[in-house]
Amino acid sequence: MDVSVMQVFKKRCRELYVAHHIDNGFSPDPAARRDLITRIVVQAWNEVPAKTIQRGFIRAGIVPSGPRESNGRFRVAKQAQ
């Protein structure tokens, strides 16, 4: 799981970081650097395709199994009251 997802994530972080610094210099302000890294991490994570995450779980052998509804969701027994 880690390899498949993190490879895509880290590659995108590097691309965004380099692209930013091509157009903008390096800030001497630590708060501005933290803000930049935070924005890069959020954007890169949001750009990791859902299929990449799904394939990561499958490759890791973490595949949910059990009874499902017709829409593909897991069937969950109702709790007794």
pLDDT at 74: 78
pLDDT in tens, 36-65: 999 999 999 999 999 998 888 888 888 777
Q: Does residue 77 fall inside a structural domain? A: no
Q: Does residue 27 fall inside a structural domain? A: yes
Q: Is the pLDDT of residue 76 over 90?
A: no
Q: Does residue 65 fall inside a structural domain? A: no
pLDDT at 67: 82
Range of the structural domain that residue 9 is part of: 2-59
- Number of other CB atoms surrounding residue 79 within 10 Å: 5
Task: Specify the pTM.
Answer: 0.71
Q: Is the pLDDT of residue 19 over 90?
A: yes
Q: Does residue 33 fall inside a structural domain? A: yes
Q: Is the pLDDT of residue 3 over 80?
A: yes
Q: Which of 6, 65, 67 is nearest to 41 (CA)?
A: 6
Of residues 5 and 65, the one with the higher pLDDT is 5
Q: Does residue 29 fall inside a structural domain? A: yes
Q: Which of 14, 19, 20, 49 is nearest to 35 (CA)?
A: 20
Q: Does residue 73 fall inside a structural domain? A: no
Q: Does residue 53 fall inside a structural domain? A: yes
d(CA 61, CA 38): 31
The residue with tokens 């059990």 is 66
Domain count of the fold of the chain? 1
Pull the structure tokens for residue 67.
């009874």
